[in-house]
Structures are given as C-alpha cells and as structure tokens.
Structure 1
Amino acid sequence: MQSIIGKNYVDHPIFADLRALLKSCSQRYAEHDAYVYRLQSKGPSVHKTYQQFWDDIQALGTGFLLSNLVSLPDKFQTQSIATPAIKPANYGQAGSCCDLDTKRHRIAVIGENSYPWIVQHNANLFGLGISVPLDKQLSLEELKALLQRANVDIICFDAKHYPMIAEIRASLPNLKHFVVLDDSNLAHKLKAEDASFEDFNELMEMGHAAIKAGDKRFSEIYIDPDLPASLIFTSGTSAQSKGVLLSHRNIAFNASQAARLLDIKEGTRALSLLPLHHTFENTCGLYGLWNYGISTHINDNLRYVAYNLQDWKIQFILCVPAIVEALYKQIWRTIKKQKRQRQFELARMASHSMLKIGIDNRRQIFKQVLDQLGDLRWMVVGAAALDPTIASFFNDIGIELWTGYGLTESSPLISCNNQELNMISSVGVVCPDLELKIDSAEQPSHYENTADNSGLNKFNLFRFFYPNTEPVKGEICVRGKNVMLGYFENSKETKEAIDSEGWLHTGDVGYLNEQGCLYITGRMKSMIVLTNGKKVFPEEIEAKLCHIPGVKNALCWGEANSREQIDVICKLHLSPEALPATCTSGELDPNTKLNHAAVSQYLLGEIDKLNTQLAVYKYIRYCVFTLDDFMMTTTLKIKRAKEIERTHNALKTLNCTFKEMHGKYLGSNDAK
C-alpha cells in the first residue's frame, strides 16, 4: 500500500472558520479590490475592496436580523445554536454528522455568478444559517425536490429564476421568505403584493445604517467551526444526488491547503468562470483566492470570456478542460488563418530548448498570441481530465497550467501541480497536511512506500533497476481536516464512503509516481469488469479516442453480447468541421450533411489503429457516432448513466442491437 502526506510549499495562516479568514484578509488587503464585476455585458466595471466586501456581508446579515428573516437564541454571542453541551468523541470529524439541527435556518442561493450571490452565501455562513448553494441549471422538478429534501425556509434567487419560484412555492409550505438578489424593481413589486418577498439591496442598506448606529449583533454571532455550514448537492438527478455536509473547518482548511500549495502573487487579477455552487469554484475560487488578496473579476457570460480576458487584463483563471480546449482552438484558428503554423511550431521548439538551459523568454516569443488572452499567466484546471498535449501547449507558450484533482466530499481539493513540480499528465502533488493512500489488494512484494512524511521520495533500488515496472494502482483514499462531515440524511452511504479510521474512499483509481505525483486512471463505478475478471477503465480509452481528428467527445462502456461475454463499446460525438474532406463530400445525408459511409470507414479504420495500442482485452468491439451533444453536468462532465440510457432508448426505438448499428449514425431523434 502506497501512502503519502502532502508537504507545505508556501507559508499561509490556517483559520478555523471562514469569517476569521475574511476578517484577516480585510485587514491585510483592505484597499485591494476583492471583486470587480459589470452590471451589464461590456458595461463599466464596479469595484469592491476587501473592506467593502466585509462590510457588505456584515450589513446584509444585520439586515436579515432586523427584518426578522432569521431568529437567534438569546445567548447567540457565546454559544452556537446546536453545539451540544457534551460533545461526542468524534465531534467534527469526517463521517461524524449526517443531519442538520432543526433550529438552524436553511438558506438556499440560486442564480448566475454575481457579487450579490457571493455576499449572500457568505452572510449565510457567517451566522444566518446553513447555506444551500444550488445549480442554476436545475429543472423545475429538480429544484422543487432539492428544496424539499433540504427543508429550505429561505431562498435567495436572481430574477431569471422567479418564474420557477412562483410556480413551486405553493407546494413548499416550509419556504417562508424570498430574497431577490439582482432586481430591486421586481423585488419592490413583489413585496407590495406579498410581504414574504425581500430586496437584497434594501436589506443591505438597512444593515449598513444599523451598524453605523452601533448594531454589532451579526458580527458577534458565535461560529462553531465543526458544525455543518454548507449543504452541497452533487451532480445527478434530484433523487440520486448526494447532499454533502461541509463545516467551516473543512472549507477553511482546504482553502489554506490551496494557498499553501500554489504560489500566486498578491493582487493578481483572476476571472471567475465556473458556477459558484460547485465546490471547485466555491472553495478554491472564493476562499482560496482570498488568501492572496487576489482581485476576482466575475465573468458575466461565457460569450464574453475573450473580451473580459483582454479588457480586465486577467492573469489567473480556475477552469475546466472544456474552457481550456476552447481557448486552444481559438489560438490555433488564428494561427492557421495567418498561415503561420510552421513558424509557430519552430518557435515552440526553440523556446522549449532554451527553457531547458534556464532561459525563459516564452512570453516575449509568443507575445502576439498571448495578447489575445489579456495578461493570462496561470491556469488551474480541474473537474475532468485534460489532454496532456493541450496542457503542454500552454506551458510552452508561457502560461503555467496546473492540473488538479478533487471531489465535493473533500471540500474539494486533493492534489494539484504547482510551481515546483508540474508533471503534465498527472494531477499533481498531494495537498499540504493531507494523507493519501493507494488502496490495492494487488501490492507486489518488492514494492516499498518511498514517500516520507514531507511528501518527498527516497531512493528505491528496485525502481532504479526496473524503471518500466508498471506502478501499483488502487483506489485513492484520503484523510484530513478537509474531508466532509457526511452525506445529508444518509448514514449508510456515509459509512460506505468514510471508514472507521477516517479514510474517505474516493471511488477513483490511480497511482503515485516516485516524485509523489498522483495519476488518475479511472473511476470504480464506471470500471468495466470482463467475464475473465480483467478490469477496463473506460476513461483511459476515451482519452485516446478523443485524439482522433473529428472526435469531440467519447463515451465507453461494457455490454453483454449473445455469448454472455462483455464487449467494450463506444459512442463518439463528432465535430464535422474537423473530419477529413471525404466525410463531408460525395453522397451526403440530408440531415447530418455527412457522407455516412465515408465517416464509418474513417472511424473504423482509426479504431482499428487504436486497438493495436491496447491490450487485447481492452479492444473496442463496436461503435456508433452522433452529432448530438452528450448530456453534461454544469462542470461539463458527461452524465454517463443518462447518456447510456439515451443510447439504449434510441436502439430500442430502431429495434436494433449495438452490434447491428456498428459504425453507423445514431441520433437523439431515434430515442422516443
């Protein structure tokens, strides 16, 4: 069994709760911009300093108290509402809590990324109650189901979501108050008809006036760092999604881990792109960046990413592979349009060679390319796998790209590449003070764990003589203060996820190399187990399929054939413009504008080539292709189960087997 404890790379203080973290930052970076945003696309920028941000949170919380939207016990200054008089031995530890105290308010926040969203979420955390950030793309039924599950009594929303709120409120009797985040006119109109509606701006103005007059109640609310602070639902249908309970200590500790792992300059300009309800953006993009005094610019629309990068001279972004891939394609389109591919590749080779001897002039050589991206210098990429060739591309032109890994249950960050060690195909080194082990029953007798407690590896004689020995793979397990309290109202799954020793079993499979870098090879629940017991991780094959020109996305899974053997099969989402010319000429299908016979011949030929690179048991037996987008989460990961179900429905409608459709087009219109 391999195990390692992440080491510290950068000195940063550790706080027990998020309020203490922001209070410290508001003092250290008082006049630095904390947030910059626009009230309308391409409009003038609004600036909020760290001190103003702190003041706005205090004011909003005070406004909630004055308006009696929340109630607090008499002795709220000195004790938490739900802290037990006698704490159990495992109080605040991983897996110790699956429920929420009924005395505490549950306050949901839903809407586009915005400054009011951030202020509201933090006012919830700083004393109003348990914050429940929700996915802005939830359907009506999903929103209703999650509000019921969490027993939410206050919901804060943007104007876009009002029609949904209006439709479901009658069926949610526990929902008592409604706060409009971004439209005072709508809020005043609704409040005139119904006193249960409130205006975010009005509450904040009321609070500012009260604080000026000496009201300190909100700032003196006691925060128990080990109680549930946030309830975050994972991706999935409302019935299947898990509610993850995170404490202040979980989130604040993980934010400090990010700050102690990455060396980013004070005052750096960042762009917030990912949905704030997701822990990657929430913990790393909000709290992690506070530690550096970073100025976060809130992107108003994905259509304006390029404009905002340039206009705000953005230096740092936290993003998912789909965004990086879009930037990559944008750069290559420009290079091809200018017919400068050869010069560009020669420049890459030259800068790469000079970098090896300590000369870094990448940003000078590629200035014309980099000018398209503002002042972009650093990217942290997570939530899904990134093609290593794309990561290498950005590093070669002078943008440090660091891939990372985590999951909601670990608040979320587990590992990340950084300024000291950046191994492109890995997901980096383990976070400071986090224990990680590779749990494998197939541990060879010759292997010894070579990682000491600092996270550095010692000399391994066996590895020296046999460097190509396949590394030991197993389930990735982590233990530390960032591991969740538990799953909401689900003690059974909590016990399955977190064992008696406090190890969180991630469900991901991977290995550690000699430098202590983590590699992800697959997911336990998507693993294909063949009849002979061999295991295939579809993610490994999908990554290779996506290297085929014209393949935008790939999904692999296993299906039983007529002989009751398991076949590895795949569905390919194509980009017609990237296919060979033969696929878009000749006899074209009137709907897809593709030559299906040519596409089939091309894809099957490419898959045959790919199979020669795979072990025989991993061979792709059958494939279909489509032009329809795969079903994705808000962080642009494929909803595997739903996409497979959609494929089965399409086959059922056509009364065909996957084998019979091998090499053919399968559209979503075929699924009835």
Structure 2
Amino acid sequence: MEPLDARTIPDLVRAGAAHHRDREAVVDGDVRLTYTDLAAEVARFAEALAARGVVKGDRVALWAPNGWRWIVAALGIVSAGGVLVPLNTRFKGPEAAYILARSGARLLLVDDGFLGNRYVDSLAAAAAETPTPALEQIVTFAEWDAFLAVRQPVDAVVDPDDLADLFFTSGTTGRPKGAMLTHRQTTRLYVAWSELADLRAGDRYLLVNPCFHTFGYKAGVIACLLRGATIVPQAVLDVPATLDLVQRERITVLPGPPTLYTSMLDHPQRGAYDLSSLRVAVTGATTVPVVMIERLRAELKLDTVITAYGLTETCGTATMCRPDDDPETISTTCGAPVTGVEVRVDEVSGEVLVRGYNVMRGYFEDPAATADAIDPEGWLHTGDVGVLDERGYLRITDRLKDVFIVGGFNAYPAEIEQVIARHPAVAEVAVIGVPDARLGEVARAFVVARPGPPPQPEELAAYCREWLANYKLPRSFVLVPALPRNAGGKVLKTRLREEAR
C-alpha cells in the first residue's frame, strides 16, 4: 500500500516504513528516527498500551509539547485502537481535569515538569472540584522506558471509519466539546491538504504549530507521513531557535500563524542565518497582512505562500488558497473549498456553512450540541460570517460565535468570564478580543465591581493566572459602572468593541 492510499493511521505508519525506509521521519535534537525506526517505536508503544488494558475505543489523553515522544505516543495510541485526546500544554489543572472527565480517558501520558509546569500536581489539586473517575493511570515521560518494557500484542483491528481522535473545542457557552473524527476523514483530507500545500517527499517540515491542535497534528504529522517528509518538531516558539533550526536542518516547509512570520521577518538577526532552503509557508487563523505575503515572497524567496480556513469540527481544514494565487487573494481570502467539501453562506445571517466528508461525526456524548451544530441536511454551522466571491473563494468578515484568536489559539469569552465572575469582588464581567500587534487579538475584560473596595487589575490578573492558560488571560481590565445591554438584557459587546476601538 502506498502511504497516500492509506485510510487508517496505523496503515499509514506501516506504509511509510515500507516505502520510505531509511528516510528520516522525525528529527528532534539528537533523536533521528527513520521511517523504519518510527514504525518500530509506534508498534512498541501500542503494545505497551495493550499491556495496560487499552482496547479499541478507549480514550487515551496526551499532555505534552511537540517532540518525538508526542509523535510516537499519539501514533501508538491510535495504532492500539485507542482514541487520542490531546491536551493543551498551557492548560491549568481544572481545564485539563474537565476534558479528562468529559472524555472518560482511561490513561494519561504527560510530560510532567515541561516549562516548570507540575501537571500531575495541578490535576491532584483540581480533583476535589473536577474528579476524573475513569482515569486509571498516569504515565509520565520520565517513565517512558519502564512503560515500554512491559508489552503484549495488539488485538485491535482498526477500520477507516473508527474514531481516531477527540480534539476538544469550546463554543460560546465556554464548555469544551470533543469533536469526533475518524481515520478516513483525517487521511483523506490531508492528502488534499498536502497536495495544495505543495508538500513533497523529502521535504523537511518545521513543526512549530502545537501538536495538541489540529494544525500541528493533522496538517503536520499526518501530512508529512502521507508525503514522506521529515518532521522537525519545536517544543516552544522561540524565533532565534526557529531561525537556527531552519538553517541547521535545511527546513523547506514552515507552516504557522502570521505572528511567526512577522517575528521572523522583523528579527534583527535574521540576516545572520541562511534561510534559502525555505520553499513553502501555510498560514491562517487571523488577519493576514498583504505586505507580509509580499515580504515572504520577496525577502525569503518562498515559492508557495497560501492561507487556509477550517475548524476542529471540519478536521482542521475546509478551504485553501492555491499556490498560484496572488498576494491580495492570499491575504484577503481563505481560498476555495478543498475537493469533496462544500461551503455556502446563509442568505439571511451570512453564516458560513460547511458540508462534506471532513465534517465531524458529532460532539462526543453530546447529542444536543451536535444537533445545534449540524443541521438535518448535514451542514455544519460554523458561527463565522463571511462572503463568497465569484470564484468561490471565502472571505471571513465577522463571527457569530463570541470567539477571538490569540496567536493562533481560539479564546472563548464565556469561559474567561466564568473564571473572573468567581472573584469575590466582581459583580459582572464581559470579555472581548481587542487587536494586538504581536498576537493578533488579546482579551480585554470589562468589570462591574461589587459594593466595597473595587478589585485592582493586578489582583484580577493574578486570580486569572491560577485558572486559565496564558493565552486566555486578559491583558487589560476596565472597571465600568455597568455593562451596556439591549432591551432583552443581553450584553452589547458590539458597543464594548466600539469603545475599545
């Protein structure tokens, strides 16, 4: 079987070993795994999971940064018939505990201590408020070798339409929901993605986008395996380190948020690095300046620069620009639907709707939320507002859902508001996204204080840091006597945005 013909991820790993053999699959510091090595490591990990009782359909969570162990563990989970549940490395204990409980994960693999984060301790501290009764075992990366020492054959037979992963995403309620996606959806979609992105056998792909996000895992790990490219993971975005990796590993493909490219282009030491190997950039998520596209082509001499649009619920991708599109098109649109996917705009609301093989099977154990998201005709209601031009290219103009994007990560005001509202000095709160030169958008909180001494911004910021990942933290707090509301009592966030502007 050719890798491009594989419709399960275990078949994809095995096909890669058969066809690419000694080509490097993963390069992470001193660890250099060929495609043959990678398949062997994945098989060992799957057998270790089987020895711990993981059977087909069991959810297994992974809380770790980009690295060769994340890749082996993720592929091992699905090769054992399990369902991958990635956790954001920025999560605090309560956030992670909620997803572990909601998914019913039986086992958690964690790089405890990453960037000083004591993940295991934070989970223990959250246990009283958010218990995780299904969680039977926590395995830290420090126990990696010992974990692999006990193995047994994998009995599970993985089919293309089996559930492969649960990537949790929030809605305007602020309660994360697990989008159910299959092996066939992932492999089929990223054959199309990798073709439009001009990803080739032998390419060297710098994996900066977090693997706990679909952009990192599916448009990164899976796409590279499909095409026979080499994955070079980077655990933390650090521009000098990125520039060094591009030079040292002769990186050819570098997808990422606009923040990554602007930081690279403007870095004072950029000229000291040889970046001539770069050929492809793929971006999206936030507003993409035309000048950035032009600079990538003019200054870094990139052959291919494209933008794309998608949601976790669409397996990460729905539309993409084409390699020969002009800078204005790439900057101002998200491209046209990929083959097999339909996109239309509701004539009344302007909401963007998506239908096709890439749309999730639903939210895990949440039929009500599924029915709200996917109508009887199979159209996914994205919550984004947009327009389609005469070519069928999509342009996102607004959001129905109350979400903004911080450096490529979705931030949901309702979730942030729920945390701030628990502060004893806060009566009401409303959160919006405001422009930020580096991150695209950041949170701003409008706070109505309870009677008594008003809370200070520093106090509120410290409180939020205990409960929220860094990208969700409000960068500013504005004390107001009252929140603007309409006749029905709904907070008028449009007015708050106008005031912020």
Q: Structure 2-normalised TM-score?
A: 0.75
Taking a change above 3 Å as real, the CA distance of residues 15 and 155 of structure 1, as seen in their structure-2 partners, is same
Partner of residue 278 from structure 1, selected from 213, 233, 237:
213
C-alpha distance in structure 2 between counterparts of 1:141 and 1:518, whole Å: 37
Q: Partner of 1:381 in structure 2? A: 283
- The question of whether the paired residues in 2 share the 8 Å contact of 1:310 and 1:373 is answered with yes
**Does the 8 Å CA contact 1:384/1:637 hold for their aligned counterparts?**
no
2:160 maps to: 225
**AA at the equivalent of 1:310:** Q
Aligned residue number for residue 298 of structure 2: 396
CA contact (8 A) 2:90 2:470 kept: no
- 1:416·1:428 contact (CA, 8 Å) conserved in 2? yes
Give the 5 Å matches for 1:401-440. Answer: 401-422=305-326, 423-424=329-330, 425-440=332-347
- Secondary structure (helix, strand or coil) at the match of 2:164 reads strand
The offset of 1:651, in angstroms, is 2.7
Q: Distance in 2 between matches of 1:105 and 1:288?
A: 25
- Quote the Cα distance in structure 1 between the aligned partners of 2:364 and 2:287: 28
Tell me the secondary structure at the aligned position of residue 138 of structure 1.
Answer: coil
* TM-score calculated relative to the size of structure 1: 0.57
Structure 1 12/106 Cα, relative in aligned 2: closer, same or farther at 3 Å? closer
The within-5 A match list for 1:155-234 is 155-160=108-113, 161-168=119-126, 171-181=131-141, 183=142, 199-207=143-151, 217-218=153-154, 221-234=156-169
Larger RCO (alpha carbons 8 Å, 6+ apart): 1
Residue 262 in structure 1 maps to residue 138 in structure 2: no
Kept in 2: contact 1:244–1:486 (CA 8 A): yes
- The answer to whether the 8 Å contact 2:62/2:86 transfers is yes
Q: Partners of 2:73 and 2:341 in 1: how far apart?
A: 30
From 1, 20, 31, the equivalent of 1:29 is: 20
Kept in 2, the 8 Å contact 1:33–1:48? The answer is yes
CA distance in 1, matches of 2:34, 2:47: 20
**Alpha-carbon distance, 1:329 to partner:** 2.0
Partner of 2:454: none
* Residue pair 2:50, 2:80 contacting (<8 A) in 1 also: no
| Equivalent pair of 2:62/2:84 in contact (CA under 8 Å) | yes
8 Å contact kept, 1:261–1:432? no
Give the CA deviation at 1:526: 4.7
How far apart are the structure 2 equivalents of 1:34 and 1:517? 34
Does 2:53 align with 1:70? yes
Q: Which amino acid aligns with 2:387?
A: Y
Provide closer, same or farther for how the CA distance between residues 516 and 664 of structure 1 changes in structure 2, counting only shifts above 3 A.
closer
Retained in 1: the 8 A contact 2:171–2:401? no
Once residues 147 and 346 of structure 2 are traced to their aligned partners in structure 1, the CA distance between those partners, rounded to angstroms, is 51
Instruction: Tell me the CA shift for residue 204 of structure 1.
Output: 3.0
Report which of the two structures shows the higher radius of gyration computed on alpha carbons. Answer: 1
Q: Determine the C-alpha separation between the residues in 1 that align with 2:32 and 2:46.
A: 21
Partner Cα separation in structure 2 for residue 237 and residue 277 of structure 1: 21
The answer to whether 1:51 aligns with 2:36 is: yes
Change (3 A) 1:52 1:238: farther
Deviation at 1:236, TM superposition (A): 7.2
In structure 2, relative to structure 1, the CA distance for the partners of 1:665 and 1:494 (3 Å cut) is closer
Give the counterpart letter for 1:202 in structure 2. Answer: A
CA distance in 1, matches of 2:66, 2:497: 43
Aligned to 2:76: 123
Q: Distance in 2 between matches of 1:572 and 1:652?
A: 24
Asked whether the equivalents of residues 312 and 374 of structure 1 are also in contact (C-alpha less than 8 Å), the reply is: no
Q: CA deviation at 1:494?
A: 1.0
* Alpha-carbon distance change, 269 to 172 in structure 1, aligned in 2, over 3 angstroms: same
Cα distance, 1:263 vs structure 2: 2.1
Q: 1:176 is matched by which residue type in structure 2?
A: E
Instruction: Give yes or no for contact 1:249–1:482 (8 Å, CA) kept in 2.
Output: no
Q: Secondary structure at the match of 1:159?
A: coil
Task: Name the SS for the 1:427 alignment partner.
Answer: coil
2:318 matched to 1:318? no
Q: Which residue of 1 aligns with 2:398?
A: 522
Shift in Å at residue 172 of structure 1? 3.2
2:3–2:12 Cα contact (<8 Å) kept: no
Please show how residues 100-119 of structure 1 align to structure 2 within 5 Å.
Answer: 104-119=57-72
The amino acid of 2:342's aligned partner reads: E
Q: Name which of 386, 389, 405 aligns with 1:510.
A: 386
Equivalent AA in structure 1 for residue 136 of structure 2: K
Q: Match for residue 487 of structure 2?
A: none
Q: How many residues align?
A: 427
Q: 1:494 corresponds to which residue?
A: 370
* Secondary structure in structure 2 of the residue aligned to 1:318: coil
Structure 2 residue 85 is matched with structure 1 residue 141 = no
Q: Please list, as runs of the form range in 1=range in 2, the aligned pairs for 1:578-593 lying within 5 A after superposition.
A: none
Q: Distance in 1 between matches of 2:477 and 2:10?
A: 48
Q: 2:266: which partner in 1? A: 329
Determine the C-alpha separation between the residues in 2 that align with 1:261 and 1:310.
25
- State the alpha-carbon separation in 1 of the partners of residues 59 and 177 from structure 2: 17
- How far the C-alpha of 1:118 sits from its partner, in A, is 1.3
- Cα distance change, pair 441–14 in 1 and its aligned pair in 2 (3 A): farther
SS in 2 for 1:486: coil
Separation in 2, partners of 1:501, 1:206? 48
Residues 632-660 of structure 1, C-alpha deviation per residue, up to 9 Å, x if partnerless?
Answer: 9xxx9986xx859x645x33499xxx9xx
Corresponding residue to 1:479 among 331, 350, 355: 355
Q: CA deviation at 1:168?
A: 4.8
Q: Do the aligned residues in 1 keep the contact of 2:244 with 2:273 (CA within 8 Å)?
A: no
Unaligned runs of 5+ in 2: 114-118, 407-412, 414-431, 439-459, 484-492
Q: Is the 8 A contact 1:169 1:175 kept in 2?
A: no
CA distance in 2, matches of 1:375, 1:506: 37
Q: Structure 1 residues 241, 52: CA separation in 2 closer, same or farther (over 3 Å shift)?
A: same
Indicate how the Cα distance of structure 1 residues 138 and 374 shifts in structure 2: closer, same or farther if over 3 A, else same.
farther
The structural deviation recorded for 1:260 is 3.3
- 1:309/1:235 CA distance change after superposition, 3 Å: farther
> What's the CA shift for 1:273?
0.6
Amino acid at match of 2:254: I
SS of alignment partner, residue 525 of structure 1: coil
Deviation digits for residues 567-614 of structure 1, max 9, x if unmatched? xx9956579xxxxxxxxxxxxxxxxxxxxxxxxxxxxxxxxxxxxxxx
Map of 2:245 onto structure 1: 308
Mapping for residues 496-645 of structure 1, pairs under 5 Å = 496-526=372-402, 573=436, 643=474
Alignment-mate amino acid for residue 118 of structure 1: I
Kept after mapping to 2: 8 A contact 1:142/1:237: no
Is the aligned partner of 1:287 residue 2:222? yes
